[in-house]
């Protein structure tokens, strides 16, 4: 949603390295408009490939550093667990959102969760946020319940800023 996913058989995958990272068109402008309007910009991300051993934590952190240097993101919150770990931080559980709200004194009812996977939308719903589903047409489970369906982060930012 922020960066281009590698899509294989209709399923998105994260970049394999910081060098493979490509920020999607319109993302920098959309995030800057939200930042200028006073929003905190927090990325909450599942990174199960670390638990699976197919990518290192160092690679994930380098990707986040590149994103932080290019975009006005306030915080990255990462779950490095796999589904078999049954943690409360891995989306669709709302743990990362709840912890961020507590740490930063965020009103989740006045917040938005924008994501391109059903787990993102469900985590936002469980945390009490208004939710945006960015529909990239992935061939996987789709969210059943969301507030807005959009084609890009830029479109979501436009809707948020009009509210």
> What pLDDT is attached to residue 136?
96
* pLDDT mean across residues, the chain: 97
> What pLDDT is attached to residue 36?
98
* Topology at the third CATH level for domain 6-162: Rossmann fold (3.40.50)
pLDDT category, 157, cuts 50, 70, 90? very high
Please give the model's pTM, rounded to 2 decimal places.
Answer: 0.95
pLDDT category, 149, cuts 50, 70, 90? very high
Q: What percent of the chain has pLDDT over 90?
A: 99
Residue 55 CB partners (closer than 8 Å, separation 6+): 14, 16, 47, 49
Residue 53 CB partners (closer than 8 Å, separation 6+): none
> What pLDDT is attached to residue 155?
98
Mean pLDDT of 58-67: 97
């Amino acid at each position: 949603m922020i960066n281009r996913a590698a899509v294989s058989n209709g399923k998105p995958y994260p970049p394999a390295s910081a060098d493979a990272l490509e920020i999607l068109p319109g993302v920098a402008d959309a995030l800057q408009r939200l930042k200028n309007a006073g929003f905190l910009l927090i990325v909450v991300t599942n990174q199960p490939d670390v638990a699976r051993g197919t990518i290192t934590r160092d690679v994930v952190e380098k990707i986040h550093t590149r994103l932080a240097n290019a975009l006005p993101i306030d915080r990255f919150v990462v779950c490095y667990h796999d589904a078999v770990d049954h943690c409360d931080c891995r989306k669709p559980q709302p743990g990362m959102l709840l912890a961020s709200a507590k740490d930063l004194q965020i009103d989740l009812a006045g917040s938005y969760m924008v994501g391109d996977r059903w787990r993102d939308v469900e985590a936002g719903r469980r945390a009490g946020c208004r939710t945006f589903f960015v529909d990239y047409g992935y061939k996987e489970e789709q969210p059943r319940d969301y507030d807005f369906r959009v084609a890009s982060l830029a479109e979501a930012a436009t809707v948020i800023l009009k509210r």
